Structure 1
């Protein structure tokens, strides 16, 4: 793990702020990369400017996510309709539209193993408006990278490695807790949307 961190830091450090955006773009669009380690390396090497790296990574992620998003828009509906009927599909789309911003912000904030690209694909399938999609991904990803950067500055890059080990050790528990948390947020948003407005 230490050799891997050193290699990553040596590779991305010369790219500066722009490197965080480029690497986040690649991670979001196609090739999964160990973004937690990379962002920890950036934050540790330039502690006073960790937030700039987080913002640039948020920008890169939001732009890169447009690729799976547009794939979902292009053929995702047909893909889903082969597995569920039209009525169920429209019910899912209506539910998504009522809380589309939070439905993208929350998964974008979550660490691996959250299946983030599935949410991105789903946003394309349900035709989430592109500006709102970009904003939601940017907010969620920037918050995630900002928190990781701050933890690294305060406690050192080992905190990210420790967190990664805990994730792998308690993967099932983390997935259950993550799904429960997301379900709770979605339930609250649906409840708010369906709550009658007082005159």
Structure 2
């Protein structure tokens, strides 16, 4: 006798999260142009049709995976005190370089570059400027982002071996100076 099997219940939120994580892993390691929807589906353990159902296009999947990663890291809710030291530890750590890597790899393709520019302008810089506050919040946000991206690329992707501790301390102090500029008394 054949037993009737209970239909497997889907959990759309968990499935979408798996797809976004798989997409982020692939986009941050091999770039937009070399990552296909089928490959993302395979990495997530789902049918390609589910990726298309939930995200529609490769461009939408790229954008949503990038935005999700940014908010998952919690960059915009960290304490201002010791921010520089905390960011230096994270950048030198194992996982944090994936977001800058994804952004750098996005530059190679016009479609992903446009998405990365939009996310940088509308989410990253705007949120960072709001978090930093006056004076000159947008200028300080851009300086911080340039410093973080440049340091990450140089130390994580172009350098071999450990980063000297003096360099890490310089990076931490430089970031903290940008943050603390908003707390300086006027005059």
Superposed pair shares fold, TM > 0.5 = no
**Structure of larger gyration radius:** 2
Give me the TM-score of the superposition, normalised by structure 2.
0.28
Give me the TM-score of the superposition, normalised by structure 1.
0.27
